[in-house]
Amino acid sequence: MFIRIVKMSFHEENIPKFIENFNLMKEKIRNAEGNRYLELYQDKNNPCIFFTYSFWETEQDLENYRQSALFDDVWTFTKKLFNDKPEAWSVDKLVSLT
């Protein structure tokens, strides 16, 4: 399992559109094959910056999602709202303290 972190920055006036669409799509994204966890964060100092944080079983599961009609719908809508290029990282968890 690995973690995918995506940083997105939006025009301020587009934030409500993004949140509304995320709320409509979040269960579908979370239920994509291989997705085990999904969270959305908003930066405390810059409310235009958001992060998604998701756990994926395999890299192929993430790639299958990225090639799906669902991802196409989500990303086609979302990318129109950006004020900066998104960034993404795939990382392995090394330590977790609970």
For the stretch 9-60, pLDDT in tens is 999 999 999 999 999 999 999 999 999 999 999 999 999 999 999 999 999 9
What mean pLDDT is predicted for residues 63-67?
Answer: 98
Asked whether 81 and 18 are in contact (CB, 8 A), the reply is yes
Residue 39: strand pairing partners: 53
* Residue in the structure block whose two tokens are 């399992």: 1
pLDDT mean over 55-83:
97
The reported pLDDT for the residue numbered 58 is: 96
- Pairing status of strand 2-9 against strand 49-56: antiparallel
